[in-house]
Amino acid sequence: MTPAKEFMRKAVRISKEKMEANFGGPFGAVIVKDGKVIAEGFNQVTSANDPTAHAEVTAIRAACKALNTYDLDGCEIYTSCEPCPMCLAAIYWARLDKIYFTNTRADAAEIGFDDAHIYDEIPKALHQRSIPIEHIPLEEAKKVFKDWQDKEDKTLY
Protein backbone atom coordinates (compact mmCIF):
# COMPACT_ATOMS: atom_id res chain seq x y z
CA MET A 1 0.00 0.00 0.00
CA THR A 2 1.30 3.45 -0.90
CA PRO A 3 2.16 5.95 1.83
CA ALA A 4 -0.49 8.31 0.41
CA LYS A 5 -3.22 5.70 0.94
CA GLU A 6 -1.96 5.04 4.48
CA PHE A 7 -2.07 8.76 5.34
CA MET A 8 -5.55 9.00 3.80
CA ARG A 9 -6.73 5.99 5.79
CA LYS A 10 -5.42 7.66 8.96
CA ALA A 11 -7.46 10.79 8.17
CA VAL A 12 -10.54 8.61 7.63
CA ARG A 13 -9.94 6.71 10.90
CA ILE A 14 -9.71 10.03 12.75
CA SER A 15 -12.94 11.22 11.12
CA LYS A 16 -14.77 8.07 12.23
CA GLU A 17 -13.35 7.99 15.79
CA LYS A 18 -14.01 11.65 16.53
CA MET A 19 -17.46 11.61 14.91
CA GLU A 20 -18.41 8.59 17.02
CA ALA A 21 -17.10 10.40 20.11
CA ASN A 22 -19.45 13.32 19.25
CA PHE A 23 -16.78 15.95 18.64
CA GLY A 24 -18.47 17.03 15.40
CA GLY A 25 -19.07 16.02 11.82
CA PRO A 26 -17.35 13.11 10.04
CA PHE A 27 -14.21 14.90 8.95
CA GLY A 28 -10.54 14.20 9.69
CA ALA A 29 -7.20 15.41 8.39
CA VAL A 30 -3.49 14.80 8.81
CA ILE A 31 -0.58 16.98 7.79
CA VAL A 32 2.58 15.25 6.62
CA LYS A 33 6.12 16.57 6.29
CA ASP A 34 9.02 14.49 5.00
CA GLY A 35 6.90 11.35 5.07
CA LYS A 36 5.83 11.71 8.72
CA VAL A 37 2.53 12.83 10.24
CA ILE A 38 3.22 16.04 12.15
CA ALA A 39 -0.37 16.96 13.01
CA GLU A 40 -3.90 15.63 13.09
CA GLY A 41 -7.18 17.49 12.97
CA PHE A 42 -10.84 16.68 13.20
CA ASN A 43 -14.13 18.50 13.07
CA GLN A 44 -14.90 20.21 16.39
CA VAL A 45 -17.59 22.64 15.27
CA THR A 46 -20.26 21.46 17.71
CA SER A 47 -18.02 20.38 20.60
CA ALA A 48 -16.02 23.62 20.62
CA ASN A 49 -18.92 25.87 19.53
CA ASP A 50 -16.59 27.12 16.80
CA PRO A 51 -17.86 27.20 13.20
CA THR A 52 -14.25 27.49 11.98
CA ALA A 53 -13.08 24.31 13.75
CA HIS A 54 -13.12 22.15 10.63
CA ALA A 55 -10.70 19.22 10.36
CA GLU A 56 -8.34 20.99 7.97
CA VAL A 57 -8.23 24.17 10.06
CA THR A 58 -7.60 22.28 13.32
CA ALA A 59 -4.87 20.26 11.58
CA ILE A 60 -3.26 23.45 10.25
CA ARG A 61 -3.34 25.00 13.74
CA ALA A 62 -1.74 21.88 15.24
CA ALA A 63 0.93 21.70 12.51
CA CYS A 64 1.86 25.35 12.92
CA LYS A 65 2.16 24.86 16.67
CA ALA A 66 4.25 21.69 16.24
CA LEU A 67 6.62 23.37 13.78
CA ASN A 68 6.51 26.79 15.47
CA THR A 69 5.69 28.56 12.20
CA TYR A 70 2.80 30.01 10.22
CA ASP A 71 4.26 28.70 6.93
CA LEU A 72 3.63 25.03 6.14
CA ASP A 73 5.66 25.01 2.94
CA GLY A 74 7.00 21.49 2.48
CA CYS A 75 3.90 19.88 3.99
CA GLU A 76 0.94 18.05 2.48
CA ILE A 77 -2.58 17.60 3.83
CA TYR A 78 -4.67 14.44 3.64
CA THR A 79 -8.31 15.07 4.38
CA SER A 80 -11.33 12.81 4.48
CA CYS A 81 -13.34 15.22 2.33
CA GLU A 82 -12.72 17.79 -0.37
CA PRO A 83 -12.01 21.04 1.50
CA CYS A 84 -14.82 23.57 1.82
CA PRO A 85 -14.14 27.16 0.69
CA MET A 86 -12.93 28.23 4.16
CA CYS A 87 -10.59 25.27 4.51
CA LEU A 88 -9.31 25.66 0.98
CA ALA A 89 -8.47 29.30 1.70
CA ALA A 90 -6.74 28.29 4.95
CA ILE A 91 -4.68 25.70 3.06
CA TYR A 92 -3.56 28.36 0.59
CA TRP A 93 -2.75 30.82 3.40
CA ALA A 94 -0.71 28.11 5.16
CA ARG A 95 1.16 27.40 1.91
CA LEU A 96 0.72 23.63 1.98
CA ASP A 97 2.29 21.93 -1.04
CA LYS A 98 -0.47 19.49 -1.94
CA ILE A 99 -4.01 18.44 -1.01
CA TYR A 100 -5.20 14.84 -1.01
CA PHE A 101 -8.87 14.06 -0.31
CA THR A 102 -11.24 11.11 -0.54
CA ASN A 103 -14.95 12.07 -0.25
CA THR A 104 -16.04 14.82 -2.64
CA ARG A 105 -18.05 17.94 -1.90
CA ALA A 106 -20.97 16.24 -3.69
CA ASP A 107 -20.64 13.32 -1.25
CA ALA A 108 -20.69 15.80 1.65
CA ALA A 109 -23.76 17.56 0.25
CA GLU A 110 -25.59 14.23 0.12
CA ILE A 111 -25.25 13.86 3.91
CA GLY A 112 -26.20 17.45 4.74
CA PHE A 113 -22.88 19.33 4.46
CA ASP A 114 -23.61 21.40 1.36
CA ASP A 115 -21.33 24.38 0.73
CA ALA A 116 -22.72 25.21 -2.73
CA HIS A 117 -24.23 28.47 -1.47
CA ILE A 118 -20.78 29.67 -0.34
CA TYR A 119 -19.18 28.74 -3.66
CA ASP A 120 -22.03 30.63 -5.36
CA GLU A 121 -21.58 33.72 -3.17
CA ILE A 122 -17.86 34.23 -3.74
CA PRO A 123 -17.94 35.49 -7.34
CA LYS A 124 -20.94 37.78 -6.75
CA ALA A 125 -20.58 41.54 -6.49
CA LEU A 126 -20.78 42.71 -2.87
CA HIS A 127 -24.25 44.20 -3.30
CA GLN A 128 -25.56 40.89 -4.69
CA ARG A 129 -24.52 38.68 -1.77
CA SER A 130 -27.09 37.20 0.59
CA ILE A 131 -25.46 38.74 3.69
CA PRO A 132 -25.59 42.55 3.42
CA ILE A 133 -22.13 44.13 3.16
CA GLU A 134 -21.53 47.82 3.72
CA HIS A 135 -18.25 49.65 3.08
CA ILE A 136 -17.49 52.35 5.66
CA PRO A 137 -14.38 54.24 4.53
CA LEU A 138 -12.27 55.74 7.36
CA GLU A 139 -9.08 57.72 6.98
CA GLU A 140 -7.67 56.29 10.22
CA ALA A 141 -8.02 52.81 8.74
CA LYS A 142 -6.02 53.89 5.68
CA LYS A 143 -3.40 55.32 8.05
CA VAL A 144 -2.99 51.98 9.81
CA PHE A 145 -2.35 50.34 6.44
CA LYS A 146 0.18 53.07 5.61
CA ASP A 147 1.83 52.54 9.00
CA TRP A 148 2.12 48.83 8.20
CA GLN A 149 3.61 49.61 4.82
CA ASP A 150 6.23 51.85 6.48
CA LYS A 151 6.92 49.54 9.45
CA GLU A 152 10.55 48.46 9.26
CA ASP A 153 10.39 45.52 11.66
CA LYS A 154 7.32 43.77 10.22
CA THR A 155 7.23 40.08 9.46
CA LEU A 156 5.90 39.50 5.97
CA TYR A 157 3.66 36.53 5.37
pLDDT in tens, 34-51: 999 999 999 999 999 999
56 counts as catalytic? yes
Q: Considering Cα of 66, then 71, then 73, then 75, what sign does the dihedral take?
A: positive
Q: Name the DSSP class of 97.
A: S
Q: Which candidate, 94, 90, 88, places its Cα nearest to that of 74?
A: 94
- For the cut 90, the answer to whether the pLDDT of residue 33 exceeds it is yes
pLDDT grade, residue 9 (50/70/90)?
very high
pLDDT in tens, 81-137: 999 999 999 999 999 999 999 999 999 999 999 999 999 999 999 999 999 999 999
Q: Would the pTM count as exceeding 0.75?
A: yes
For residue 139, what pLDDT is reported? 97
pLDDT grade, residue 23 (50/70/90)?
very high
For residue 62, what pLDDT is reported? 98
28 vs 8: CA distance, rounded Å: 9
Catalytic residue selected from 56, 110, 121, 140: 56
- For the cut 90, the answer to whether the pLDDT of residue 157 exceeds it is no
Which residues are bridge partners to 39 per DSSP? 31
CA angle 79, 81, 84 (to 5 degrees): 100
For residue 22, what pLDDT is reported? 98
Q: Mean per-residue pLDDT for 56-60?
A: 98
- For the cut 90, the answer to whether the pLDDT of residue 1 exceeds it is no
